[in-house]
């Protein structure tokens, strides 16, 4: 589709929608005095049905579907914890450009009863956050499809070292486009089959965040369609309030249709390191030395480019973990026997420090530099001696390591199962209390997390690398270092889902009883009161609510998050 055709189609769509809403809000006959007023949901359904009927007679009909297949697909997500019928939208919308999205949002905003609209990337939420029950789900992938109004949704500027990426683009494709010019983004998620707009609406974290900050701290500019249907290009220097609101904003203020991401010279290789520990104190102390800015870390400070960690309540989870699969196994049969013995000696819980050192390619680091770095790590870190494992892989293989695990699980029919994930941010001052109560308590004594299929991550980040003006929420604590804990499980057997959800609730109760101030990452709460009190707190809630009133006053966007409803309170 050419730009001229897309513009004409969008203008036609706007005209058709305005005609529908004029008829609905002005020319609809007055109800008899004895008739009860329509509810908000029934009115929204009538409005959407009218829009669909008008569009069906135009050339835009291919861009909206109401059939059971399309609406069912947009009613579920990676978590598969939502009932399809309860989450089913009235329609799925397939835009060719940002102007199409703007037209849809203006139509909803102008109606007497605005219908909900949610943007869907790859459906990787876990609690139905991207659903729009009774409303319209926007299929963002269609922005790069055959009817797209733009020829390319990935454009690299070598001179200025940035990439413009459509909000629907996958990070793995962003990586490949940048590498073609010897460049790379600096901050990543561990799983690259996520969309740019999706991760930027949350935060986007992984083992690089200690150095470069989350992905929301690595954005130069955004194109956003607000809840009122306004298309805005924003940055720290232009419409900064919207820019910061959208980053980490859980889809509440606008839909990201383009992001400008800074790039750096790309390495070619990664020295991938795994070290086993028998206690949380040694693991976290070493992690903090590795992420230090040089004042306390000594020879270890900044030595690794990537620092994460995991908790193992079943040594088999380390050997056969789906999440981080190298081209060949880290461990021999003899290693496996040794790890089993170490786990038994440690009382059933082991810890793994996982990291990487990048080199070669366009970077300044050489293989010799990395050899020396690994020597320092093996000498200085406090891991269980004899349990250091190293592999050398390509930079792409390391960043995209989770995809191998995905293929394995898909092949075994274990990918599309419920995922009752729990992600938390914790202050450093409480991480050992949490480890004692949860890793050695709740998870170990109720069957173990790893044995039920799923990694348990624990790693530190530096607060100073996060932009406090964004909508992301961190622990309300003065610690410069805070931890992320990800309990990322798959419910495979009968009873797993209920048991895991009960464990998650028990973790929350433990933190409250122990006075551990934790904040959910990828949060989910059932009511606005819970969001305000338990997630944001008074000060941040006031800012979040002010921004909502400004950019989405009809509460059209992302009602699946259960933060706001119409009318906006």
Which pLDDT does position 147 carry in this prediction?
65
Q: For residue 25, is pLDDT > 50?
A: no
Number of helices (H) and strands (E), helices first, in the chain?
20, 19
Give whole-number Cα distances, 506 to 191, 217, 393, 445, 490, in Å: 28, 33, 39, 12, 18
Cα torsion through 127, 131, 133, 134, rounded to 10:
180
Residue 33 pLDDT grade (very low, low, confident, very high; cuts 50, 70, 90): very low
Q: All domains of the chain, ordered by start, with CATH? A: 154-265 (3.30.465.10), 267-464+472-520 (3.40.462.10)
Question: Which of 43-47, 101-105, 565-569 has the weakest average pLDDT?
Answer: 43-47
Q: For residue 420, is pLDDT > 80?
A: yes
DSSP state letters, 424-480: EEEEGGGHHHHIIIIIIIIHHHTT-SGGGT--EEEEEEEGGGS-TTSS----SS--S
**Per-residue pLDDT tens over the stretch 154-185:** 999 999 999 999 999 999 999 999 999 999 99
- Distance between CA atoms of 487 and 16, rounded to whole angstroms? 48
Q: For residue 137, is pLDDT > 70?
A: yes
Which pLDDT does position 445 carry in this prediction?
74
Compute the average pLDDT of residues 296-319. 80
Question: Which of 28-32, 94-98, 122-126, 502-506 has the weakest average pLDDT?
Answer: 28-32
Q: For residue 59, is pLDDT > 60?
A: no
Report which secondary-structure segment, H or E, holds 244.
Answer: helix 240-246
Q: For residue 56, is pLDDT > 80?
A: no
- Distance between CA atoms of 247 and 239, rounded to whole angstroms? 13
Compute the average pLDDT of residues 219-232. 98
| Residue in 312, 287, 185, 244 with CA at minimum distance from that of residue 467 | 244
- Distance between CA atoms of 483 and 517, rounded to whole angstroms? 12
- Distance between CA atoms of 6 and 383, rounded to whole angstroms? 59
Compute the average pLDDT of residues 22-48. 43
- Percent residues over pLDDT 70 in the chain: 83
Instruction: Name the DSSP class of 217.
Output: G
- Distance between CA atoms of 390 and 273, rounded to whole angstroms? 5
Phi, psi of 291 (to 5 degrees): -95, 0
**Per-residue pLDDT tens over the stretch 348-379:** 899 999 999 999 999 999 999 999 999 999 99
- Distance between CA atoms of 290 and 230, rounded to whole angstroms? 44
Compute the average pLDDT of residues 200-204. 97
* Number of residues assigned to the chain: 569
Compute the average pLDDT of residues 463-479. 93
**Per-residue pLDDT tens over the stretch 70-106:** 998 888 888 777 777 778 999 999 999 999 999 999 9
The single residue listed with the structure tokens 């109560």 is 437
Name 184's bridge partners: 264
- Distance between CA atoms of 479 and 470, rounded to whole angstroms? 19
Catalytic positions? 124, 190, 308
Residue 148 pLDDT grade (very low, low, confident, very high; cuts 50, 70, 90): low
Q: Rounded to two decimals, what is the model's pTM?
A: 0.90
Question: Which of 127-136, 217-226, 445-454, 497-506 has the weakest average pLDDT?
Answer: 445-454
Residue 316 pLDDT grade (very low, low, confident, very high; cuts 50, 70, 90): low
Residue pair 175/396 in contact (Cβ under 8 Å)? The answer is: yes
Burial class (CB in 10 A: 0-12, 13-18, 19+), 249: buried
Angle formed by the axes of helices 3-22 and 98-110, nearest 10°: 10
The single residue listed with the structure tokens 């996958």 is 170
What mean pLDDT, rounded, does the chain reach? Answer: 86
């Amino acid at each position: 589709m050419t730009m001229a055709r897309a513009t004409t189609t969008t203008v036609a769509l706007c005209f058709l929608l305005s005609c529908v809403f004029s008829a609905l809000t002005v020319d609809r006959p007055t109800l008899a005095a004895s008739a009860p007023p329509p509810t908000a949901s029934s009115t929204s359904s009538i409005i959407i049905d009218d829009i669909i009927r008008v569009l069906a007679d135009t050339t835009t009909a291919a861009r909206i579907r109401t059939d059971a297949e399309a609406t069912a697909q947009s009613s579920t997500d990676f978590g598969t914890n939502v009932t399809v019928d309860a989450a089913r939208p009235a329609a799925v919308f397939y835009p060719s450009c940002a102007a199409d999205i703007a037209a849809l949002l203006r139509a909803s905003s102008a109606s007497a009863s605005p219908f909900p609209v949610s943007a869907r990337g790859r459906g990787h939420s876990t609690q139905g956050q991207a659903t729009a029950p009774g409303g319209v789900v926007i299929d963002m992938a269609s922005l790069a499809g055959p009817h797209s109004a733009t020829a390319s949704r990935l454009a690299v500027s070598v001179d200025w070292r940035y990439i413009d990426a459509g909000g629907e683009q996958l990070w793995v494709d962003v990586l490949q486009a940048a590498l073609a010019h010897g460049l790379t983004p600096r901050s990543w998620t561990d799983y690259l089959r996520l969309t740019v707009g999706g991760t930027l609406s949350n935060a986007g974290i992984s083992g690089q965040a200690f150095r470069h900050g989350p992905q929301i701290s690595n954005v130069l500019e955004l194109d956003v369609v607000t809840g009122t249907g306004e298309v805005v290009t924003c940055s720290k220097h232009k419409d900064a309030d919207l820019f910061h609101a959208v980053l980490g904003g859980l889809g509440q203020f606008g839909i990201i249709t383009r992001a400008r991401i800074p790039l750096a010279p790309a390495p070619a290789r990664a020295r991938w390191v795994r070290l086993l520990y028998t206690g949380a104190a040694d693991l976290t102390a070493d992690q903090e030395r590795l992420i230090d800015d040089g004042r306390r870390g000594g020879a270890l400070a900044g030595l690794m480019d990537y620092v994460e960690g995991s908790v193992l309540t079943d040594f088999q989870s380390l050997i056969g973990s789906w999440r981080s699969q190298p081209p060949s196994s880290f461990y021999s049969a003899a290693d496996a026997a040794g790890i089993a013995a170490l786990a038994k000696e440690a009382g059933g819980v082991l810890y793994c420090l996982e990291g990487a050192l990048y080199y070669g390619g366009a970077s300044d680091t050489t293989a010799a530099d990395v050899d020396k770095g690994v020597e320092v790590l093996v000498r200085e870190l406090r891991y269980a001696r004899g349990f250091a494992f190293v592999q050398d892989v390509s930079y792409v293989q390391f960043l995209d390591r989770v995809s191998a695990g995905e293929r394995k699980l898909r092949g075994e029919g274990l990918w599309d199962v419920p995922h009752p994930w729990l992600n938390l941010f914790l202050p450093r001052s409480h991480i050992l209390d949490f480890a004692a109560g949860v890793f050695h308590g709740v998870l170990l004594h109720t069957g173990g997390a790893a044995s039920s299929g799923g990694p348990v991550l624990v790693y530190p980040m530096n607060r100073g690398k996060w932009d406090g003006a964004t909508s992301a929420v961190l622990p309300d604590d003065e610690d410069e270092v805070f931890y992320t804990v990800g309990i990322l499980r798959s419910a495979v057997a009968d009873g797993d889902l209920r048991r895991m959800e009960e464990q998650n609730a028990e973790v929350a109760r433990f933190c409250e009883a122990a006075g551990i101030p934790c904040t959910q990452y990828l949060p989910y709460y059932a009511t606005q009161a819970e969001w305000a009190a338990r997630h944001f707190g008074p000060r941040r809630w006031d800012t979040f609510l002010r921004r909502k009133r400004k950019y989405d006053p009809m509460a059209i966007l992302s009602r699946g998050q259960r933060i706001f409803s119409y009318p906006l309170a």
